[in-house]
């Protein structure tokens, strides 16, 4: 029987993460890849609508409370884990590091941001 143990990482409360869901793809401009780069800015309007600015696009989304929250699991393989008290070889364990209860969904078509409007058409 396969058992996969999922346990909480620490005794205290878990972090709460927010999930951002974009309907699309994110591409890197340069060939360095996405890692470490800034995606964009997330702002909230006064009504609470989240606004995401990515490049020259602006997306409007909404916050959705998840009825089935997600948990963020980190996999720990037995190779570098300590053995439990029974001395048995522990299997792969998943540690929960965060919970996700809300998500921000951007599903509308993004609007372009035009910063240089020529004065004369």
Site residues (vs another protein, CB under 8 A): 2, 4, 22-30, 32, 34, 37-41, 53-57, 59, 75, 91-92, 109-110, 113-116, 119-120
In this structure, what token pair is assigned to residue 101?
């209860």
Nearer to another protein, 16 or 43 (CB): 43
| Min CB(49)–another protein separation in Å | 18
Nearer to another protein, 9 or 53 (CB): 53
Contact yes or no for 54/39 (Cβ under 8 A): yes
d(CA 121, CA 118): 7
d(CA 88, CA 6): 17
């Amino acid at each position: 029987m396969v058992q996969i143990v999922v346990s909480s990482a620490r005794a205290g409360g878990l972090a709460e993460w927010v999930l951002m869901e974009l309907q699309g793809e994110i591409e890197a401009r340069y060939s360095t890849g996405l890692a470490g780069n800034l995606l964009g800015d997330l702002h909230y309007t006064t009504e609470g609508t989240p606004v995401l600015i990515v490049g020259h696009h602006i997306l409007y989304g909404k916050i959705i409370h998840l009825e089935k929250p997600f948990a963020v699991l980190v996999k720990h393989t037995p190779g570098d884990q300590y053995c439990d008290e029974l001395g048995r070889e522990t299997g792969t364990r998943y540690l929960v590091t965060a919970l996700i209860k809300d998500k921000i969904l951007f599903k509308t078509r993004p609007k372009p941001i035009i910063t240089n409007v020529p004065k004369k058409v």
